[in-house]
Amino acid sequence: MTGHGAAPVRKPLLTPGVLLLLGLVALGMVFAWVRFASGLGAVTHLDDRFPWGIWIAIDVATGVALSAGGFTTAALVHIFHRRRYEALTRSALLTAVLGYTFVAFGIVMDLGRYYNIWHPALPSMWSGHSALFEVAMCVMAYLTVLYIELMPIVVERFAGRVRLPGPLGLLDGVVEGALRFFDRTLGRVMSVFIVLGVVLSTLHQSSLGTLMVLAPSKMNPLWWTPILPLLFLLSAIAVGFAMVVFESLIAARVFGRAPEMELLTPLSRVIPVLLFVYLAFKVGDVMIRGVVTRLGDGSAASLIFLLEIGLGVVIPLLMLLSERVRRRPGLLFAAAAMVVLGVAFNRINVFLTAFTPLYATRRYVPSVGEVAITVAFISGLLLLYRVLVSVLPVLPAEEQPQQQRTGSRHVHAAPPSSIGRWSA
């Protein structure tokens, strides 16, 4: 069994889009240099009232939520044995690996003493009372698990053909040995890591919601609720599959392939169910806490709340109930994009919109530097994804070019691997 019939993408890398992304990364690095040379104040609009801005709301909180496709897909295919979706697991995994990696970059950018980022791992620093401690530990552990889950893809591509450039060639044997070792061992233990990854995800996706529960007096009551951790978990599960659909359709467009509708159509049947569960808790919460009447007060906050629920949950839910929508790439993409943007909007609302500190003389509006760095992170993520799908067998192999270029294909015909089946 040779995995998924996945293969590296054979397309020219230096397209105008890639050059644009490179430019955006370079621009962000200029601001990052200023941030590390002169402090957070030199680049951001953060102050004593607004200690958290878009780097936490978007780069970290939204980044974690939108990387949920990794664990939801792994659970669907490897725990609930829905094998037909296996072809989608690799790009979902790569998205999660890159998503969490950039979450870590975002945290480093935001921490005043970034060089102490490893402190939570020290037993002498352990602070079990802190929800943030739990998030940090689970994210560190999950990032490790994600790289382990990625390893079979690396083995499939490089085992037996390690050719490091230049003097690094001396290490070929060592790397080869390591890949062989992974090949022999990982297959037996991968199911443990996949289950572990799902457990760690449910824990930190929910604990991320606990963070703002600790500031009840500074949060708009529309968003502040003791069940924020549950809402974060439910929305993460719902957005996981929507994200897989969203990126699969984008990849199909960018690489000029036929969209994998035979998988995306049935997969998207589950999204409205998950959205409905999330919506039920979200609506039940504002009703039970008695804040539902605030929605009619015409304030900006209530309007934003209604937009978040309406455009991000209700409309895509109704759209995805229709078989016609699920079958048409354009409509399916629109619905999936609304779910993705809706969850992103929710995270931004919880961390920024709902946050109303005392004695504030102005609202927080992100600075040019904050936006440039966030854009650079997103661009860097897309860039790495684009490079890695060209190097590693992540996306399903294209059939026609395969036949046309039989001569050059032998490099990518993966050898039989014991772990292909588990390469999530």
> Which 211-230 positions form the footprint of other proteins (CB under 8 A)?
211-218, 226, 229
In whole angstroms, the minimum distance from the beta carbon of 29 to other proteins comes to 16
Sign of the torsion formed by the C-alpha atoms of 181, 184, 185 and 186: positive
Which residue in this structure is represented by tokens 């968003």? Answer: 223
Contacting residue, 161, 163, 180, 184, with other proteins by CB under 8 A: 184
Taking CB under 8 A as the binding criterion, the range among 17-25, 312-320, 351-359, 377-385 that sits at the site for other proteins is 351-359
Taking CB under 8 A as the binding criterion, the range among 206-214, 238-246, 319-327, 368-376 that sits at the site for other proteins is 206-214
Nearest to 64 by CA among 200, 213, 228: 200
Nearest to 295 by CA among 285, 306, 287: 306
Contacting residue, 49, 289, 294, 328, with other proteins by CB under 8 A: 49
Contacting residue, 192, 258, 307, 365, with other proteins by CB under 8 A: 192
Task: Decide whether 254 or 371 has the Cβ nearer to other proteins.
Answer: 371
84 touching other proteins, by CB under 8 A = no
In whole angstroms, the minimum distance from the beta carbon of 114 to other proteins comes to 7
Distance CA 235, CA 336 (A): 13
Footprint (CB under 8 A) of other proteins, residues 18-37? 36-37
289 touching other proteins, by CB under 8 A = no
Task: Decide whether 9 or 190 has the Cβ nearer to other proteins.
Answer: 190
Nearest to 223 by CA among 307, 302, 312, 313: 302
Taking CB under 8 A as the binding criterion, the range among 194-202, 237-245, 323-331, 385-393 that sits at the site for other proteins is 194-202
Task: Decide whether 24 or 352 has the Cβ nearer to other proteins.
Answer: 352
Q: How far is CA 103 from CA 214, 235, 320, 374, in A?
A: 22, 18, 30, 11
Footprint (CB under 8 A) of other proteins, residues 64-83? 75, 78-81, 83
Contacting residue, 66, 198, 237, 378, with other proteins by CB under 8 A: 198
In whole angstroms, the minimum distance from the beta carbon of 205 to other proteins comes to 12
Task: Decide whether 1 or 14 has the Cβ nearer to other proteins.
Answer: 1
Task: Decide whether 402 or 418 has the Cβ nearer to other proteins.
Answer: 418
Task: Decide whether 8 or 51 has the Cβ nearer to other proteins.
Answer: 51
In whole angstroms, the minimum distance from the beta carbon of 273 to other proteins comes to 19
Tokens of 308: 């978040």
- Show the site string, 115-144: x = touches other proteins by CB under 8 A, - = not: -xx-xx----xxxxxxxxxx-x--------
Nearest to 56 by CA among 280, 348, 346: 348
Task: Decide whether 133 or 281 has the Cβ nearer to other proteins.
Answer: 133
Taking CB under 8 A as the binding criterion, the range among 159-167, 174-182, 388-396, 412-420 that sits at the site for other proteins is 412-420
Taking CB under 8 A as the binding criterion, the range among 47-55, 89-97, 248-256, 268-276 that sits at the site for other proteins is 47-55
Residues whose CB is less than 8 angstroms from the CB of residue 314 and which lie 6 or more positions away in sequence, other chains included: 279
Task: Decide whether 78 or 347 has the Cβ nearer to other proteins.
Answer: 78
Task: Decide whether 168 or 199 has the Cβ nearer to other proteins.
Answer: 199
In whole angstroms, the minimum distance from the beta carbon of 418 to other proteins comes to 3
6 touching other proteins, by CB under 8 A = no
Task: Decide whether 112 or 165 has the Cβ nearer to other proteins.
Answer: 112
Task: Decide whether 196 or 337 has the Cβ nearer to other proteins.
Answer: 196
